[in-house]
A and B are shown apart, each in its own frame.
Chain A
Amino acid sequence: MNTSLQIVVCGSIVPDPLQTLEPVTSSGGPALKNEMMLPAVLDPWAAHALYEAAHLALAQPGSKVWLVSMGPKAKLQQVMMTVAQKVPFELVALDGSASGFTDSFATAAALAGAIEAIPGLDKSRLLLFGGWESASRGAGSTIQMTAERLGITEQFQGVDRIAVREDGSFEVLERIEGGRHQVSVCTAPPAALGWATGFLPEPRNNPQVGMANMKTVMPALQRAKAATAADAGLRFVSVSLPKQQRETRIEKNMAPEEIAREIVAWIRE
C-alpha cells in the first residue's frame, strides 16, 4: 500500500535561549528590547517536529516535507542558513512578526492560508506538524486552530513518537500527566501532531542537503507575503521581568555528612 505522506511543519523563530530578554512597550504593544538584533534559532519544539518529519518522510518513499514559517524575512533568512543544512524540506515563508506577544488565533489564520496555497497539496495525505509549545508564546494552541481551519479533526498533542504501519494507519504516543504516554491508533491521515521532544537527536549539518535546500529557500523568502497576526481585542495590562534574585548562602567547608543532615532536615520541614 502506498503510504507516502505530505508533511507540513509549522515553526517559527525564537531568540537564542542564552540571550537576556527584556520587555519594552512599542506602538504595537509589548515587544523585546532590541528584538531585531537578538540572535535567533528555529523554535526547539518546531525543530523536533521538523526532524521527525524528515525521518518519517525518509521511511515513507514518495513523501515530502514543507516548513511553513512566519517571521521577519531577514531573520528567517539568517536562521534558514543553519536549519537548511539539517534535513531536506521546502520552505514556505510568511513575512510577519515572530513575537511571543502575537495572538495564536491570528497566527493560525495566517499559517492556514499559506498551507492552503501550497500548490498540489493533497490533504488526504496531509500530516500537519508543529511544536506543542514554543519558546516564545508557549501557547500550545496554534496547531490545533490551524488544523481546524484546514478541516483536520484528528489531532494529537505532546507527541513523542509516530509509527506508520503497512496499512497506512499510524500509532501515536502523546505525553499525558505523570510522565506517562497515551497510545492511540489513527487509521489514516489527515491529522495534526503537536510534537514534544520526540526521541531523535538533532541531525548533523549536511552541506549537500544545505545546498539543495537553499535552491528553494531563497526564492521562497523573496516571494514571502506580508502577514499580520494582530488581535485588536487583546490588551496587555503589563509585562514585567520577575524579581528573582535570591540571597544565596554558599557553604564551602561543610562535610558531606553535615550537608546531608541539613538537607534532610530541610526536606522534612
Chain B
Amino acid sequence: MESILLLAHTEADGALAKPALEALTAALELGGELTVGLVGGSVEPAANLVAAAGARRILAVTGEPFTQPRYATDAAAAEAIARAAGAAIVLAPATARWARALPGVAYRLGGRIDTHATGLAERDGVPAVNRWFYRQRMEAVLTRTARPWLVLLDAGCFAPWSGAVSGAAQVEFVAVEAPQSRTNVTGVQAPKADEQTIRPDAKLLFVAGAGWTKKQPDGAVHVEEAQQLILGMLRGAQASLGGSKSLVDLSGEGQAVLPFMTHLNQVGQTGSTPRHPKGLSTCCHGEEPHVVGWRFVTERRAVNLDPNCGWSRGKADVVYVADAFAVVRELNRLLG
C-alpha cells in the first residue's frame, strides 16, 4: 500500500475531534506507512494519541496564526505538511475547516481531490473511494492514478479510533511563514443553548414539513401551537430538527412561520444529508427531492394524514396515518 498522510486540525485544547478520530481509523484500515500532520495552536495531546495509534511520523504546524480556521493560513500549513510528508494518499476529515482549504491545496500540489467520501478501501491493490453523486441518488466507486490524491472523509462513516495513550510523542515541527491574509476571523454566531435545533450527534432527526403551517381541521392555522409542539419534541427527545424545502422557503419569504426554522435546517436535494440512526417525519409528503436527504438515516418513521404520501411508497419503515398535532402533543407528554 502507498504512503498515507492524515491531516488533522486540533481543537482549542490540542486534542482531536471525533471526525479526525474517524479519519484516523480509516487511515489505519487502509494500511500503508502512516504520517500524521497536525495543525493548530497546540498539538501535544493529539500527537500523543496518533503516536499510540501507530503513526510512524508526526508533523505539525503550530502558532497563533494557525489557530484561526482561515483559508490562507490553513492552506499554507496543509501544503507545507503535505510537501514534507511526500505521501501519495492524503486523508482528512471533511470538517468545515478542511473542506474550505484542502481543494486549493490539491491544486497547489498538482494533485487531485475527492470530497464527501463515504468509504475507502483497497481494491485490486489501489485505494478506491466510495462517494455519492447527484445528491445521494447514485453511489460510485472510483479510483485515480494522479498523486497526491486528497480524500475528504465524511463524518459518521468510520468508527472513531480509541485506545490507550502512553508517553510523549516525537513531533517534527514544520516551519511555515504565515501568509499575509486580509481575512480575520472575528467570532462564531451560534443559537442560544435553549434555541439549539441542529444537533449532529442526536440519535433522532425530527423533520417538520409545511403541513404544520397549513389550515387544520378546524379551518384555522395554528402556528403558535406548532412552534411549541415542535420545540417541546426537540427538548424531550434531544432531537435534531430538519425541515423540508417548502417550509424553509416560507420562512425565507418573510411569512410569519416557525421562526427557528432556517435554511440550515433544510434536509434534501438542496439541503443537508445528516446522519442519524433514526428519523421521524411529520407533516411532510416525502417527495423524492426531500427524501434524498434521508440517505443516511437508518430507521425512518413518518406521521402524515395522507396514506398515499411518498413515505408510504417504500421510503419509510412505518407510516402512521394521523394528525401530527395530536401525536406530537402526546409524544411531548410522554417524553416530558
A residues neighboring B (CB under 8 Å): 14-15, 17-18, 21, 23, 30, 32, 44-45, 100-101, 103-105, 108, 135-142, 144-145, 147-149, 153-158, 160, 171, 173-188, 191, 196-201, 231-242, 244-252, 254, 256-257, 259-261, 263-264, 266-267
Contacts and interface: CB of A to CB of B under 8 A. Distances in A.
Contacts of B104: 144-145, 147-148, 153, 155
Contacts of B181: 153-154
Interface string B296-336: 00011101000100011111111111110011011101110
Contacts of B280: 263, 267
A257 B69 CA distance: 48
A142 B107 CA distance: 10
Given A135-B134, A141-B103, A237-B143, A257 B330 contact: yes
Interface in B126-184: 128, 132-146, 179, 181-184
Given A186-B184, A242-B138, A246-B317, 5 more contacts: A176-B96, A179-B196, A244-B314, A248-B313, A251-B318
Given A138-B116, A141-B115, A160-B263, A237 B189 contact: no
A153 B72 contact: yes
A256 B326 contact: yes
B134 A234 contact: no
B327 A181 contact: no
A18 B142 CA distance: 26
A137 B133 contact: yes
19 contacts: A17-B288, A45-B270, A101-B133, A101-B140, A141-B106, A145-B103, A145-B104, A153-B75, A157-B96, A160-B263, A175-B96, A179-B191, A182-B69, A197-B263, A199-B252, A201-B253, A235-B144, A246-B314, A248-B313
B144 A249 contact: no
B227 to A, nearest CB: 17
Interface residues of B, number: 101
A136 B96 contact: no
Interface in B232-291: 237, 249, 252-254, 263-266, 269-271, 278, 280, 287-289
A136 B139 contact: no
Contacts of B270: 17, 44-45, 135, 197
Interface of B: 69-72, 75, 95-97, 99-101, 103-104, 106-108, 112-116, 123, 128, 132-146, 179, 181-191, 196-200, 203-204, 237, 249, 252-254, 263-266, 269-271, 278, 280, 287-289, 295, 299-301, 303, 307, 311-323, 326-327, 329-331, 333-335
B188 A21 contact: no
B234 to A, nearest CB: 12
A256 to B, nearest CB: 4
B189 A173 contact: yes
B316 A246 contact: yes
Contact of A263 (B269, B315, B331): B331
Contacts of A244: 314-315
The 7 nearest A-B residue pairs measured at CB: A179-B198, A141-B103, A260-B330, A144-B103, A256-B326, A233-B145, A197-B263
B182 A139 contact: no
A259 B191 contact: no
B133 A136 contact: yes
A182 B181 CA distance: 17
Contact of B138 (A14, A105, A201, A239): A239
Contacts of A44: 269-270
Given A157-B100, A254-B322, A248 B316 contact: yes
A154 B183 contact: yes
